[in-house]
């Protein structure tokens, strides 16, 4: 049986037609970005753009191109009021907001440091709605998201999204360009023997994170009584996709080096959308102290600590943080 297309899946979900239009535009942007990445070496688009973004991070040429493609394509959606991008300091307003309009938050190219070594990268996005006419606030807690998703640019281009209940995965079909439903009702496996963290930051970690990682590394001889594998790709999309399909926990915690900035990852267009996906797939997402989706943001580029994945592992880390704070 032929897998149904993204359009059919969305129309069968009885979504607002304007949301469907926007999601199809996002899918088109992801297709274009995937093509720009594959042809980056031929088009001279690999390497640094000799610029920095609002976070002070060095931009790759493809960071800027991916942002431009998202803006160009998604601006066609008639009810899209504003864009909030990792690569742009200010909110980009496309129209005077009206109740029911949509707000798009996105990281156009996550993990771009992997481009020059030909490893997987991705895009992350979230959608919220304007609550009343002339409402220009984009600072809403993650529970207000009406949709969240990501694209993974790997051996195949994969689009994973949730519109409030189940999580569905689509694969881009070579030749037709269609995204076809290949992974319906995705769930995070509850039992896991993997964790994803940048262990080079061990010297900065708080005790609860050190305790957790030390116990995993101890293997069969340790308190966990089984061997764990550590995985880290420097692309949140790639690490979360692996956890969504195989189980595990992803950590970019607050530590002594990044605490003053609030953490490393951005709340609105990295942590929130991934937390919605993970929670709707049966997992959990926290800062170590509070659910990520309950955080009331104070700015569009706010940073937060991130711990998410299999619920049993996240619960263990929550217990360790609670014990340390008593």
Question: Is 104 part of any known ligand binding site?
Answer: no
Question: Is 94 part of any known ligand binding site?
Answer: no
| 3-state secondary structure labels for all residues of 54-79 | CCCCEEEHHHHHHHHHHHHHHCCCCC
Question: Is 178 part of any known ligand binding site?
Answer: no
Question: Is 109 part of any known ligand binding site?
Answer: yes
Angle value at C-alpha 36, between 33 and 40, nearest 5 degrees: 140
Question: Is 86 part of any known ligand binding site?
Answer: yes
Separation CA 325–CA 67 (nearest Å):
41
Within 10 Å of residue 296's Cβ, how many Cβ atoms?
10
Question: Is 113 part of any known ligand binding site?
Answer: yes
Phi, psi values for residue 208, rounded to 5°: -60, -40
Q: Which residues neighbour 17 within 8 Å (Cβ) at sequence distance 6 or greater?
A: none
Question: Is 68 part of any known ligand binding site?
Answer: no
Question: Is 57 part of any known ligand binding site?
Answer: no
Separation CA 46–CA 98 (nearest Å):
40
Please name which of 55, 65, 135, 68 lies closest in space to residue 103, comparing C-alpha atoms: 135
Question: Is 110 part of any known ligand binding site?
Answer: yes
Question: Is 325 part of any known ligand binding site?
Answer: no
Separation CA 256–CA 254 (nearest Å):
7
Coil, strand, or helix at residue 207?
helix
Transcribe 215-242 into DSSP letters.
HHHHGGGSTT-S--EE---S-HHHHHHH
Residues in the annotated binding site for Mg(2+):
86, 107, 109-110, 270
Residues in the annotated binding site:
86, 107, 109-113, 198, 264, 270
Residues in the annotated binding site for substrate:
110-113, 198, 264
């Amino acid at each position: 049986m032929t897998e149904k297309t993204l359009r059919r899946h969305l129309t069968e979900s009885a979504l607002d037609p304007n949301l469907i239009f926007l999601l199809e535009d996002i899918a088109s942007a992801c297709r274009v970005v995937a093509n720009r990445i594959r042809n980056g070496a031929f088009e001279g688009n690999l390497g640094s753009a000799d610029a920095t973004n609002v976070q002070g991070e060095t931009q790759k040429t493809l960071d800027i191109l991916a942002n431009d493609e998202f803006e160009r394509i998604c601006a066609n959606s008639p009810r899209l009021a504003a864009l909030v991008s990792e690569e742009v300091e200010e909110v980009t307003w496309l129209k005077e907001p009206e109740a029911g309009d949509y707000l798009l938050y996105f990281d156009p190219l996550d993990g771009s440091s992997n481009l020059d070594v030909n490893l997987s990268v991705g895009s992350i996005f979230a959608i919220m709605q304007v609550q009343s006419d002339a409402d220009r606030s984009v600072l809403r807690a993650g529970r207000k998201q009406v949709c969240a998703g990501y694209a993974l640019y790997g051996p195949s281009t994969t689009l994973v999204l949730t519109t409030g209940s189940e999580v569905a995965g689509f694969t881009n079909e070579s030749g037709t360009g269609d995204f076809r439903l290949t992974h319906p009702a995705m769930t995070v496996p509850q039992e896991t023997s993997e964790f994803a963290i940048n262990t080079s930051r061990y010297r900065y970690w708080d005790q609860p994170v050190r305790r957790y990682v030390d116990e995993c590394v101890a293997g069969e001889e340790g308190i966990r009584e089984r061997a764990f594998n550590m995985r880290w790709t420097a692309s949140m999309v790639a690490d979360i996709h692996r956890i969504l399909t195989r189980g595990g926990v992803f950590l970019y915690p607050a530590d002594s080096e990044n605490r003053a900035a609030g953490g490393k990852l951005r709340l609105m267009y990295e942590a929130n959308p991934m937390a919605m996906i993970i929670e709707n797939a049966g997992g959990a997402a926290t800062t170590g102290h509070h659910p990520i989706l309950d955080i009331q943001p104070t700015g569009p580029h706010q940073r937060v600590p991130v711990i998410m994945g299999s619920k049993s592992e996240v619960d263990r880390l929550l217990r360790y943080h609670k014990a340390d704070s008593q």
